[in-house]
Amino acid sequence: MSILRWCMTLILTLGSCQAWADGQTFRIPTRPGVETSVYWEAQEGAKATVFLFTGGNGGYGNVVDGKPTSHNFLARSVALFLAGGYNVAIFGLPSDTPALDYGDRVNPKHLADVRAALDFVRTKSPVPVWLVGTSRGTVSATYVAIGSVDDPGIAGLVLTSSVTAFKKQGAVPTQNLAALKLPVLVVHHANDACVICRPYEVDWIMKGLKNTPVKKQLMVTGGGPVSGDPCESYHYHGYAGQEKEVVDLMAAWMRNPTN
């Protein structure tokens, strides 16, 4: 299918956009003088939206033929979330930084950017939103969930390949997890060899979730073959070879959160 590009001026939080055959990218005014990119793709009949925070430096790469080109586990799984019955939004990068480091993800500026992006996403679809992060994106997802405890439109939180190392600023176990009062799913690979995401440290997350009505840990196995850096997308850390299995588990749990 040929790529269709068009630009238009939108009012208020709609910003400017580029649209393709499938997904769309938008630049949303989020703070004075700052715009943040958001990828959006709707699924007909969706009962919820997954709002994705990718790992590494953030963002979703270029968009080609309506799909993000990032190799990040969440970004490359857009079609799987759509097939599971969810709208998909991916938080991109604000215009005042080329990357989201750990400290950037636990900063009030980040919360302001995400809240504006969430408001925009709700203009596209009013259904509940699940915050979903992977790797360094779990720092963002957790921080935003804690900072949005009074937001009734957020259905819950899903963390995959969480940053667990206490030495890292914003590591999930170091955040105020007791403030969370929504369903939380924690997914990790038993063979994750990333030094800041060790499987045995995931228990610190579960212990911190003292007030969640529903919480579940899924420690998956299998997948492969894997390659490259143990902290990158095509190792166990990124669920190489079992993307559909993991997304299906997440999608099913979000439809019916249970302990």
Are 216 and 206 spatial neighbours (Cβ–Cβ below 8 Å)? no
Tokens of 122: 């709700």
In order, the DSSP letters of 117-150 are HHHHHHHH--S-EEEEEETTHHHHHHHHHHHTTT
Q: Read off the pLDDT of residues 138-183 as tens digits, 9 standing for 90 and up.
A: 999 999 999 999 999 999 999 999 999 999 999 999 999 999 999 9
Closest to 130 (Cα-Cα) out of 232, 252, 246? 252
Tokens of 179: 């403030």
What backbone phi and psi angles, to 5 degrees, belong to 118? Answer: -65, -40
> For residue 87, what are the β-bridge partners?
49
pLDDT score for 186: 98
Whether the full predicted model's pTM is greater than 0.85, yes or no, is yes
Q: What CA–CA distance (Å, rounded) separates 217 from 31? A: 36
pLDDT score for 1: 27
At CB < 8 A and 24+ separation, what contacts does 200-203 make? 201/164, 201/165, 201/173, 202/162, 202/164
pLDDT score for 12: 32
Tokens of 168: 């890292």
Report residue 126 CA to chain centroid gap. 18
Q: Are strands 184-189 and 86-94 parallel, antiparallel or unpaired?
A: unpaired
Element (H, E) at 202: helix 202-208
Complete domains list, the chain, with CATH: 12-255 (3.40.50.1820)
Report residue 90 CA to chain centroid gap. 7
Report residue 135 CA to chain centroid gap. 9
pLDDT score for 258: 94
> For residue 185, what are the β-bridge partners?
158, 216
The one-character DSSP state at 38 is: E
Are 182 and 156 spatial neighbours (Cβ–Cβ below 8 Å)? yes
For residue 131, give the amino acid letter.
L
Q: CB-based contacts of 71: which residues, under 8 Å, 6+ apart?
A: 61, 233, 234, 238
Q: Read off the pLDDT of residues 100-112 as tens digits, 9 standing for 90 and up.
A: 999 999 999 999 9
* pLDDT tens, N- to C-terminus, the chain (259 residues): 222 222 322 323 334 444 334 799 999 999 999 999 999 999 999 999 999 999 999 999 999 988 999 999 999 999 999 999 999 999 999 999 999 999 999 999 999 999 999 999 999 999 999 999 999 999 999 999 999 999 999 999 999 999 999 999 999 999 999 999 999 999 999 999 999 999 999 999 999 999 999 999 999 999 999 999 999 999 999 999 999 999 999 999 999 999 9
Q: What residue ranges in the chain does DSSP mark as E strands?
A: 16-19, 24-31, 34-41, 48-53, 63-64, 67-68, 86-94, 129-134, 154-160, 184-189, 215-220
